[in-house]
Amino acid sequence: MPAIVRAQDEWRAGQARVGLKKTVALVGMMGAGKSAIGKALALRLNVPFLDSDMEIEKAADRSIAEIFQRDGEAFFRAKESQVIERLLLNERCILSTGGGAFLTPENRRMIASNGIAVWLKADTAILWSRVKHKGTRPLLQTENPYQTLVDLAQAREPAYAEAGLIVEAEMDMSIDEMTSKVIRALRAHGGILEDDQ
């Protein structure tokens, strides 16, 4: 057994067992850390991690960029809603959603009814530092990707602000520190059930 897997198993065994009252859906801009924080949260809470974009890619057998290019954004958003609904009805988990998923009113309603939305809020300087070297973001394939990112963030903030919890990132905050901050917010919100053992 690889050392990292052994260490994770030992770390988990020493933790208090926890449960989620509902699925925790991470929302926010590209680069906010939904996948990285989501995986760390799932490990710390010993629950499954699911990524709606990855599930869409598996179902379509092509990348998000290819879906956008071949079928357009409207088609992608329709499939995204179907996948999110399916994932919300599965076992309770940490669910990372795509940056535009929470903009759809129906998705916001589904998540509010079946989960807890957590907005990982990060300013554009943090977002840009994380996405500027990645060529896999279809919405940033523009003449001025930085301005596109700024415009997207401004347009999307009112929708993200409807999340049940808002957790703000800081420039030098590590994944572990941000994960702890999210867990504290979930505990304060009552979204985590802990065993008395």
Q: Scanning the structure block, which residue is given the tokens 């991690």?
A: 49
How many angstroms separate the CA atoms of 40 and 152, rounded?
26
d(CA 131, CA 78): 25
34 has binding-site annotation: yes
Q: 60: domain range?
A: 3-194
What is the reported pLDDT for 5? Answer: 44
Domain tally, the chain:
1
Is 96 annotated to bind ligand?
no
72 among annotated binding-site residues: no
What's the rounded Cα separation, in Å, for the pair 180 and 160? 21
pLDDT computed for residue 8 by the predictor: 46
What's phi and psi for 80, nearest 5 deg? Answer: -60, -45
List Cβ<8 Å contacts ≥24 apart for 11-18: 12/43, 12/46, 15/44, 15/46, 16/194, 16/195, 16/197, 17/46, 17/194, 17/195, 17/197, 18/45, 18/46, 18/47, 18/192, 18/193, 18/194, 18/195
pLDDT digits (tens, 9 = 90+) for 52-104: 999 999 988 898 888 988 998 889 999 999 999 999 988 899 999 999 999 99
Quick check: helix, strand or coil at residue 135? coil
Question: What confidence score (pLDDT) does residue 193 get?
Answer: 63
CATH classification at residue 108: 3.40.50.300
User: What is the mean pLDDT of the segment spanning 163-172?
Assistant: 92
156 is known to lie in a ligand binding site: yes
Q: Confirm whether residue 36 is marked as ligand binding.
A: yes
Helix, strand, or coil (residue 180): helix
**Residue 169: its pLDDT value, please?**
92
Please list the helix, strand and coil fractions of the chain in percent, rounded to the nearest 5, in that order. 55, 15, 30
Q: What is the pTM of this model?
A: 0.84
